Structure 1
Amino acid sequence: MEAKDVQHSPYNVNERGYYGQFGGAFIPEMLHPNIEELQKNYLEIINTPDFQKQFRQLLKDYVGRPTPLYFAERLSEKFGAKIYLKREDLCHTGAHKVNNTIGQILLAKRLNKKFIIAETGAGQHGVATATVCALMGMECKVFMGRLDTERQKPNVERMRILGAEVIPADSGSKTLKDATNEAMRHWINNPKDSHYIIGSVVGPHPYPDMVARFQAVISEEIKRQLKEQTGSENPNYVVACVGGGSNAAGAYYHYFDEADVNLIAVEAAGEGVASGRSAATTALGKPGILHGSRTLLMQTDDGQVTEPHSISAGLDYPGIGPMHANLFDTGRGTFYSVTDDEAMKAGVLLSRLEGIIPAIESAHALSALHQMSLKPEDVVVINLSGRGDKDLETYIKWGKY
């Protein structure tokens, strides 16, 4: 999270809360006090030695950081390059999400909040939020689309065991977008003592920046670990899946201004970009307002949000975070899209070659290897954002292994 070296990057947030033309805080009047409180205080609080000491200690002793950077020898042989996996799947709770929830719960405590609200798609952010609320003794409500509660049942039960109340969202497509809508609505009705732990680099400023800073520990470690293993801090490529995009933000953060490092973002094409059942925002979206910020989102000609589709609950979102919208807009990031079937095949391939069953979100990032023109000397870091335990039911239903 030591982000001083990239604070003034053109790819980072400016003093008005924007990434180029994207970002800002488009919020109801009722939430102005909460958002202003965060905007005024978050940087001062998270940069204090006391906060940093507690945050770093918990990342080390509770989360299990640093996570390994693993040279995937058999995967490298198959694709003809040097491929490393950043093992965020080995974090406590099974994904990178806990890096952010640890940071935000510590912030909420210092702002004297009593109740925590969260949204979740794949359930990993919900589990990570429920985990830190149990750790800190705080009440927790997690909103989750009804469809996602069915396809991610183990995570629902994990949240309940941890003491969280899981509230199904029955509007729209009953997925992540709708869970976020319901969580926002609850926050509007209960603004005073509540903190909303947003799980991705989405929402009104300062959330995209705040979440990215907490996740920046990923690229901070990659630099150090790659230097130890290869002699250079910089790979040729950093690859990550993007829904809202928090794992990608963390993996890219310390590489924004390293022009020789290609930032590869992989979106969910669902059943195909042109199928009408997709979540490939950069291919299908245009600028608009979603969940409190101006970003790229899939929408109709009259501005109604288009229902997304992905086999991956964590990528089943009609927009991307404003940081990523700017990376796409400026050309700093290269965006690929991967279908459900391609992602599932990539997940099974990693399982067979390296003995690692990835989350289906992470499998999308892995599948991009088929689209990249790699040379033997290329060093590729893929952020393995989560493990596949939560997705076993989906793997079983897919069945082609």
Structure 2
Amino acid sequence: MSAYLKSHPTHDGFFGPYGGAMLPPPLEPHFAAIREAYGRISKSADFIAELRYIRKHFQGRPTPVSHLKNLSALCGGAQIYAKREDLNHTGAHKLNHCMAEGLLARFMGKTKLMAETGAGQHGVALATAAAYFGMECEIHMGEIDIAKEAPNVTRMKLLGATVVPVGFGGRSLKEAVDSCFQSYLAQADTALFAIGSVVGPHPFPMMVRDFQHVVGVEAREQFLEMTGELPDMVAACVGGGSNAMGIFSGFLDDEVALYGIEPCGTSSKLGDHAATIAYGEDGDIHGFRTMVLKDAEGNPAPVHTVASGLDYPGVGPEHAFLHRSGRVTYTGADDREALAAFFALSRHEGIIPALESAHAVAFAMREAKAHPGKSILVNLSGRGDKDIDYVTQTFGFGETA
């Protein structure tokens, strides 16, 4: 593990001024138990060996890096590559931390896994882990996202999960987190709230990053083997930010430019986007301190993005810290750009990306023209099976892509 990862976060879960654990008193002992258990299990040779076995023989890791030759030729300039997390079992990077959280839950004697989900990829991954470990599973999902991501709702139910529709507030990811926390309060003795990104109270931002670190380790080794050098630029979409921290963590100690791509929605008007770092300010949400999009009353603001997995008014505290320190550059792609990238990657490479991942692809397509002779590695965090009905029914088939 790199020098940076060994020193961040602090013992109490802070990345600079961001992070920590602000919990209601009934939950404090449960999160303390999670921290203690993770501290023990993460140094256990037995845990590491079992997780490696699961990743190789169940998840299908390592996932490859693909040179996107056709897209590179189409854009001109830089050569574009993709880390293919869409080929990870269940179709996204989320299983990397869900299987590890399942192992942690078993170690703690828990019998149930529960979580929020936006696009449904975390829900599918956690339901998969629950089935693998023989546990119950409860997934909270906003009604808007249930309608947009129907294939993933079906998958969760087929895997045996109970899907709880969330119909209050904005009926999306923030409310799903609120709902799941309320349900967890009554079940904390027997359940693990397997938070789905690098967000939430300590130790989850650290723990999920560590479990996703495999993406960056693999990508770095694979890119060196393919090209003999490191990429010039690495890009990943950022909502909560787990896929981005996964791939960034492999390159933080290198002279590689890192870019987090936020969802700019349809405009810069509050409520029309979910670009937290671009338009947010310091604040608290869901038990930790980070950057937050706020309304006029100072509460988390409503958000919009074509990608359900990015529709969160906060961001992982480590991303807020990396922005503040200047190590990572955060920029954005809007709905129109993401959809154009979705169709372009499908038509020219035979890869249908998740709408979330399409934001990072859009960045690479935009930047390639300005960087001839350079290389851009995109974390293709998930595949777009879950999005095809919504996209084609709402936007057609991208005939001009």
TM-score normalised to structure 2 length: 0.96
Q: Is structure 2 residue 354 aligned with structure 1 residue 359?
A: yes
2:24 alignment partner, one of 2, 22, 28: 28
**Residue of 6, 9, 16 corresponding to 1:8:** 6
| CA–CA separation in structure 2 for the residues paired with 1:275 and 1:299 | 9
Structure 1 residue 375, shift from structure 2 partner: 2.5
Q: Does 1:287 align with 2:285?
A: no
AA matched with 1:384: L
Secondary structure of 2:66's counterpart equals strand
Residue type at the aligned position of 2:363: A
Shift of 1:378: 1.2
Q: Which has the higher mean CA deviation after the structures are superposed, 359-368 or 70-79?
A: 70-79
The residue identity in structure 2 corresponding to 1:313 is S
Q: Which residue of 2 aligns with 1:217?
A: 214
Q: 1:67 to 1:150 in 2, by over 3 A?
A: same
1:153-207 alpha-carbon deviations (Å, 9 max, x no partner): 1111110111000000111110011000001111112221110111100000000
SS at match of 1:255: coil
Q: Structure 1 residues 354, 141: CA separation in 2 closer, same or farther (over 3 Å shift)?
A: same
What whole-Å deviation, never above 9, does each CA across 1:88-124 have from its counterpart, x for those lacking one?
Answer: 0001100000001011000110011111111100000
Alignment of 1:385 with 2:352, yes or no, is no
Q: CA deviation at 1:365?
A: 0.6
Stretches of structure 2 that go unaligned for 5 or more consecutive residues are none
**CA-to-partner distance for each residue in 1:224-280, whole Å, 9 max, x for gaps?**
101111112x2111100000000001000121222x211100011111123641101
Moved more, 331-340 or 83-92: 331-340
Question: Structure 2 matches for 1:1-400, cutoff 5 A?
Answer: 3=1, 5-9=3-7, 12-77=8-73, 78-232=75-229, 234-258=230-254, 260-274=255-269, 276-372=271-367, 374-396=370-392, 397-399=394-396, 400=398
Identity of aligned residues (%): 43
The whole-number CA distance in structure 2 between the counterparts of 1:266 and 1:398 is 22
SS in 2 for 1:7: helix
**Aligned residue pairs: how many?**
395
Residue by residue, what CA displacement relative to the aligned partner does 1:342-389 show, whole Å, maximum 9, x if unpaired?
100011011111111100000001111244364332121100000010
Contact 1:269 1:279 in 2 (8 A): yes
One-letter amino acid of the structure 2 residue matched with residue 155 of structure 1: N
Q: Distance in 1 between matches of 2:311 and 2:5?
A: 30
Check whether the contact 1:273–1:283 (CA below 8 A) recurs between aligned residues. Answer: no
Is the CA contact (8 Å cut-off) linking 1:46 and 1:107 kept in structure 2? no
SS at match of 1:205: coil
Q: Which amino acid aligns with 1:239?
A: A
User: How well do the aligned residues superpose, as a CA RMSD in angstroms?
Assistant: 1.3
Greater alpha carbon shift after TM alignment, 375-384 vs 27-36: 375-384
2:164 match: secondary structure? strand
Q: Structure 1 CA distance, aligned partners of 2:17 and 2:296? A: 20
**Counterpart contact for 1:6–1:254, Cα < 8 Å:** no
**Matched residues in 1 for 2:287 and 2:39: separation?**
20
Question: Which AA in structure 2 matches 1:59?
Answer: R
Letter in 2 for 1:238: V
- Of the structure 1 ranges 292-301 and 241-250, higher mean CA displacement relative to structure 2 is found in 292-301
User: Which stretches of structure 1, 4 residues or longer, exceed 3 Å deviation after superposition?
Assistant: none
- Counterparts of 1:284 and 1:379 in 2: how far apart (Å)? 29
Q: Decide whether the 8 Å contact of 2:309 with 2:356 is kept in 1.
A: yes
The answer to whether the Cα contact below 8 Å between 1:215 and 1:249 also exists between their aligned partners in 2 is: yes
| Amino acid in the other structure paired with 2:334 | T
How far apart, CA to CA, are the structure 1 residues paired with 2:192 and 2:90? 21
The secondary structure found in structure 2 opposite 1:263 is strand
> How far apart, in 2, do the equivalents of 1:242 and 1:276 lie?
17
Which deviations, in whole Å up to 9, do the C-alpha atoms of 1:40-94 show, x marking residues without a partner?
2212212211000100110011000000101111122223112110000001100
2:47, 2:259 → 1: CA distance?
A: 32
Q: Partner amino acid for 1:99? A: N
